[in-house]
Amino acid sequence: MLIILLGSGKGIENSVHRNFESRAINSIQMWPGQTSVAYKGNKTGRNIRYDNEDFDFIKNHMKGIEYGSGRYYIDGNSIVAYKKEYASMDLRAVHPDFPHIEILDILSGRFFNRFDLEQYSKVVVLSQKAKDQLFNKEEAIGKYVTVTGVPFEVIGVFNPKNDRDKDSKMLYMPISTAQRVFSGANQLHNIAVTTGASSVEESKTIHENLKKLMAQRHHYDVNDTKAINSYNALEDFEKVTTVFRGIRYFMWVIGLGTIIAGIVGVSNIMIVVVKERTKEIGIRKALGATPWAIISLILQESIFITAVAGYVGMVLGIGLLEIISRSIKTDFFINPEADMSVTISATILLIVAGAVAGFIPARRAAGIRPVEALKDE
Amino acid sequence: MIKLINLHKSYGIGSTSLHVLKGLDLHIETGELVSIMGASGSGKSTLLNIVGILDAYDKGEFYLDGRIIRHLNETQSAKLRNQYIGFVFQSFNLISFKNAVENVALPLYYQKVGRRKRNTMAMEYLDMMGLKDWAEHLPSELSGGQKQRLAIARAMISKPKIILADEPTGALDSATSKEVMEIFKDINATGITVIIVTHENDIAANTRRIIRLKDGMIEHDNMTPDMLQKQHDTLYIPQPN
């Protein structure tokens, strides 16, 4: 039971971790909304827009920020073509820090850097799926594709860490280039930052500071919750971790509970066994068995029973987990397993349990008086 | 070897207390062959239990081979028993799920003797009792006489100084009883003190000294002090200094 419970807990935990892996754990995302409160002469219903200045200010002046990237979504008919192949895909314009925020596996080539940004280079990075569709088996790096008719050089191919996005066709380009080519002026649809090695408390402070900053720069009430949408991944992660710790403790408690029930059971049986073997124990004592010899006799038996039964239970539990993990392939239950350390501590626990179970029966056995035992008929 | 002075033993407490041994005095030398007789309730089993360090006594003194036996804990009693005393019981008291060799070897196990040596010695003693062919058999496959011989082999294997037998022939027919008594006599001839509790006169007649108990005291001892002295002189072997 213990194994199954612990394994299941780990399975759910693993899936949640997997979900978190795709994004930098220490990231804070924010995107603008609409004001809902009149403030300093400004009406409600005003659309807030972020811009490059916001981003630069944050990057240069906010304390505790490690990486940052804005995002600009290119609207319209987003056709990307290479020679005779073409595909429609998501076009995203970001800053060079972006791979640190949404984790990307760069498969070949590189992501664009500060120079590309400053030079307004016409370069793109394609997702594996996009590259396959346009280039097939051909090498893509160094070739030119057209994005809505405008030629761009492919400098890298990536795969997103996020399982859900793995099958989608995506393209990233420097935000400066996008703003110039696609007349986005200097608008940013979203700003995301990472907080480096800050603690959860520190990241919460940074989060608050960012919200205050945006309220200030865009002249809306800092308490207007509709004017800004934001998300602190670290805070979320901490909540989830705490929940799982709680779940794990709970599982242990239940598992221990079942073990205790087992101990009581074995103990009961041993008491009966001792009673049945009273005569034999009396004979042994008459022949020179010390109390310790009798105790170890009983303990050996109870430890043996507990260890064997426990081991069988453990093997069955692990087997059951294996079967479950093979037949259920949902996102919520990945790799349920109990790792080695759990298994070893469970085994030790079993041996100790056996000793505890045998303790009272053993004491009873040692206390048997040979005179009375031998009179037993 | 065994000296009992003013021995008292009661069972139970308070109003239900039964005073079984009432100031018993007894002196048994090394190498004697003694039977203790008495009616039911005369205290003979109690006496045997005390001498066998299976039970404690209330008042008086008990010396075993010159050592006072008093206030011993379980571990000490067990060790002394293993060293000095071999038991033979009326109902044999063999361990039913162990075979003959294992039963005989058991006292050696508690002397911490190694497995191979234990079994070799056990076979020796089985042979002495004529039971070599039955070594692998369980007690349930043996006759009464064989079982008792097995029990005697077990009692002997720890090389005790004293053999205590409680109604050893009680469950045996007369022919087998005779055999068993012969074995006891042979054992005694090697210098081991043999004390037999019995209620049968025929059995007691095989022993040199007969002690009758009544109401927790010695009623009759067929050896007078003179005879005891004579026995002492023949039995007493000077110890090298």
Query: Can you tell me the distance from the alpha carbon of B126 to that of A271, in angstroms, rounded to the nearest whole number?
Result: 35
Contact B78 A291 (CB under 8 A): yes
Burial label, A160 (beta-carbon count in 10 A; 0-12, 13-18, 19+)? buried
Contact B78 A371 (CB under 8 A): no
Cβ atoms of B217 and B22 within 8 Å: the answer is yes
Q: pLDDT value at position B239?
A: 53
Cα B133 from chain centroid (whole Å): 27
Cβ atoms of B59 and B216 within 8 Å: the answer is no
Q: Which residues of A touch B74 (CB under 8 A)?
A: 290-291, 366
Q: Give the residue-averaged pLDDT of A187-212.
A: 80
pLDDT at A335 > cutoff 60: no
Q: Which residues of A touch B55 (CB under 8 A)?
A: 369, 371
Query: Can you tell me the distance from the alpha carbon of A61 to that of A50, in angstroms, rounded to the nearest whole number?
Result: 16
One-letter amino acid for residue B110 of the chain:
Y
pLDDT digits (tens, 9 = 90+) for A246-259: 877 887 787 778 77
Of A295, A375, A276, A370, which Cα lies nearest the Cα of B82?
Answer: A370
Q: Give the residue-averaged pLDDT of B62-83.
A: 84
Q: Strand locations in A24-163, DSSP E?
A: 27-32, 50-51, 68-73, 79-82, 85-88, 90-94, 104-109, 123-127, 144-147, 150-160
Q: Give the residue-averaged pLDDT of A130-139.
A: 81
Cβ atoms of A152 and A193 within 8 Å: the answer is no
Contact A287 B106 (CB under 8 A): yes
Q: Give the residue-averaged pLDDT of A263-289.
A: 83
Q: pLDDT value at position A338?
A: 54
- pLDDT, chain B, mean: 84
Q: pLDDT value at position A336?
A: 53
Cβ atoms of B151 and B93 within 8 Å: the answer is yes
Q: Which of A6-15, B17-26, B200-209 has the lowest mean pLDDT?
A: A6-15
Note whether A288 contacts B: Cβ–Cβ < 8 A. Answer: yes
Q: Give the residue-averaged pLDDT of B99-104.
A: 88
pLDDT bucket at A8, cuts 50 / 70 / 90: low
pLDDT bucket at A76, cuts 50 / 70 / 90: low
Give, for A172, the enclosing helix (H) or strand (E).
Answer: strand A170-174
B75 vs A282, A286, A290: nearest CB: A290
pLDDT higher for A162 or A338? A162
pLDDT at A45 > cutoff 80: no
Geometric angle at alpha carbon B166, from B160 and B172, rounded to 5°: 110
Residue of A nearest to B95 (CA): A280
Q: Give the residue-averaged pLDDT of B61-76.
A: 84
Geometric angle at alpha carbon A110, from A105 and A112, rounded to 5°: 110
Q: Which residues pair with B63 in a beta bridge?
A: B3, B68
pLDDT at A377 > cutoff 50: no
Q: Which residues of A touch B111 (CB under 8 A)?
A: 288
pLDDT at A375 > cutoff 70: no
Class for domain B29-56+73-235, per CATH? Answer: alpha beta
pLDDT digits (tens, 9 = 90+) for B106-150: 888 888 888 888 888 888 888 888 888 888 888 888 888 888 888
- pLDDT, chain A, mean: 77
pLDDT at A329 > cutoff 70: no
Three-class secondary structure of residue A64 per DSSP: coil
One-letter amino acid for residue A116 of the chain:
D
For residue B54 the two structure tokens come to: 């299976």
Domain boundaries, given as residue ranges, for chain A: 68-189, 247-375
Of A96, A90, A78, which Cα lies nearest the Cα of A146?
Answer: A78
Percent of chain B with pLDDT over 70: 95
Q: pLDDT value at position A143?
A: 83
Query: What letter would DSSP give residue A257?
Result: H
Query: Can you tell me the distance from the alpha carbon of B38 to that of B44, in angstroms, rounded to the nearest whole number?
Result: 7
Q: Which residues of B touch A276 (CB under 8 A)?
A: none
pLDDT higher for B34 or A345? B34
Q: What is the residue-wise DSSP string for chain B?
A: -EEEEEEEEEES-GGG-EEEEEEEEEEE-TT-EEEEEE-TTSSHHHHHHHHTTSS--SEEEEEETTEE--S--HHHHHHHHHHHEEEE-TT----TTS-HHHHHHHHHHHTT--HHHHHHHHHHHHHHTT-GGGTT--GGGS-HHHHHHHHHHHHHHT--SEEEEESTTTTS-HHHHHHHHHHHHHHHHTT-EEEEE-S-HHHHTTSSEEEEEETTEEEEESS-HHHHHHHHHHH--PPP-
Q: Give the residue-averaged pLDDT of B217-232.
A: 74
Q: Which of A291-305, A356-370, B56-70 has the lowest mean pLDDT?
A: A356-370
pLDDT higher for A327 or B110? B110
pLDDT at A185 > cutoff 80: no
Q: Which of A11-25, A75-89, A174-188, B165-179 has the lowest mean pLDDT?
A: A11-25
Q: pLDDT value at position A21?
A: 61
pLDDT at A126 > cutoff 50: yes
Query: Can you tell me the distance from the alpha carbon of B162 to that of B194, in angstroms, rounded to the nearest whole number?
Result: 6
Cβ atoms of A244 and A338 within 8 Å: the answer is no
pLDDT at A194 > cutoff 70: yes
Q: Give the residue-averaged pLDDT of B208-221.
A: 83
Cβ atoms of A50 and A32 within 8 Å: the answer is yes
